[in-house]
A and B are shown apart, each in its own frame.
Chain A
Amino acid sequence: MTAIAARRYPVMTRAMEPELSSLEKRLLNEYQKGFPLTETPYADIARELGTSEALVLEILKKLKDRGYISRVGPVFKPRKVGTSTLAAMAIPEDRLRQVAGIISSYKEVNHNYEREHAFNLWFVVTARDAEHLRRVLKDMEERTGLPIMDLPLEQQFHIDLGFPLWC
């Protein structure tokens, strides 16, 4: 692997924390799981929280508009619906943005992050089946001229039940 020049990373100062009402916090913390699968889920949540359906809908729209939630929806168990892999590349610093742009342009890519390591680009590729996934990775290698380290999931030890906020 080619040596990659050390790069100075900015030290992140204390995060900007959004101002949220107690109702917003309760929605965020209590409905990452246990969302009612009923005809009127938002009205049912409103009843549980002692508020109105209109306010629950308004808050959820606001949380979505501000990017605090990506959606109200399902999280699928890996390898049950379609297939996916975590992939990494070691990219010369001066090509990082260009290569990241190519990787992000694939509709099969959801997360694509820089990480502080010689393997400096990490992304998740999802596809309908293994054959399609393999083709995408090969195409990426051809377009970027760089090898991809493919790290498929072997075992999951933690059931994703959401993330306790303000812990």
Chain B
Amino acid sequence: MVLNDTEQQLIGLIQSGLPLCSRPWAEIGQQLNLAESEVLQQVRSLQERGLIKRFGLVVRHHELGYTANAMVVWDVPDDQVRQVGEALGRHDCVTLCYQRPRRLPQWPYNLFCMIHGKDRERVLETIDELVEAEGLQDIAHEVLFSGERFKQRGAKYL
């Protein structure tokens, strides 16, 4: 994906958040020496081209009371991974669902999903419900609850 200089600078400015003021895009524009309308046009273009997949409030689950944060990893036969991934991704409380490579022998799991809940019992129940709903009884999985958070902030790519 090729980004021009203006787009790179714009992403650099907005990746940590839009200013909380009446005319935020005008403020960004001042820093880029661009008109407000041009900044907005560029942002809309990034969204239309799919580089920005959503724009809005980025919530922090833990602070909002969702402290049981589980990464569930599954060892799905390769020819079923898309079907299972899409099925899991359709459930409301699955926030992310990704395929990643196995690293044998120590890491046999190729499908990852995140589930945030208010307590771990509820999260474990949710996982049981997912297994039941999608018929995953024969698919090995592990639940990795998070412990200490050492660092958490938005990605800075540039």
A residues whose Cβ falls under 8 Å from a Cβ of B: 1, 9, 11-18, 27-28, 31-35, 37-43, 53, 57, 60-61, 63-64, 66-77, 80-82, 84, 86, 88, 90, 100-101, 103-104, 107-117, 119-124, 126-128, 149, 151-165, 167
Which listed residue, A12, A61, A154, touches B99 by the CB 8 Å rule? Answer: A154
- Are A128 and B25 neighbours in the complex by a CB distance under 8 Å? no
| Min CB gap B85→A, angstroms | 3
- List the A side residues contacting B139 at CB < 8 Å: none
Q: Name the CB-closest residue of A to B24.
A: A41
- Are B47 and A69 neighbours in the complex by a CB distance under 8 Å? no
Which listed residue, A15, A76, A101, touches B118 by the CB 8 Å rule? Answer: A15
Whether B4 sits at the interface, judged by CB under 8 Å, is no
18 other contacts beyond A74-B15, A156-B96, with CB at 8 A cut-off? A13-B119, A18-B65, A28-B57, A40-B23, A53-B22, A66-B63, A67-B63, A73-B18, A75-B53, A81-B51, A86-B112, A88-B107, A113-B69, A114-B147, A126-B157, A162-B57, A164-B93, A167-B93
CA distance A157 to B22 in the complex (A): 36
| Min CB gap B63→A, angstroms | 4
- Are B54 and A160 neighbours in the complex by a CB distance under 8 Å? yes
Q: Name the CB-closest residue of B to A79.
A: B1
- Are B156 and A75 neighbours in the complex by a CB distance under 8 Å? no
Whether B148 sits at the interface, judged by CB under 8 Å, is yes
- List the B side residues contacting A117 at CB < 8 Å: 142, 144
Given known A9-B147, A67-B63, A113-B150, contact A149–B51 (CB-CB < 8 A): no
- Are A158 and B155 neighbours in the complex by a CB distance under 8 Å? no
CA distance A151 to B100 in the complex (A): 6
- List the A side residues contacting B147 at CB < 8 Å: 9, 113-116, 120
CA distance A83 to B18 in the complex (A): 22
- Are A81 and B3 neighbours in the complex by a CB distance under 8 Å? yes
- List the A side residues contacting B96 at CB < 8 Å: 156, 158, 160
- Are A104 and B150 neighbours in the complex by a CB distance under 8 Å? yes
CA distance A80 to B119 in the complex (A): 34
Q: Name the CB-closest residue of B to A72.
A: B18
- Are A115 and B157 neighbours in the complex by a CB distance under 8 Å? no
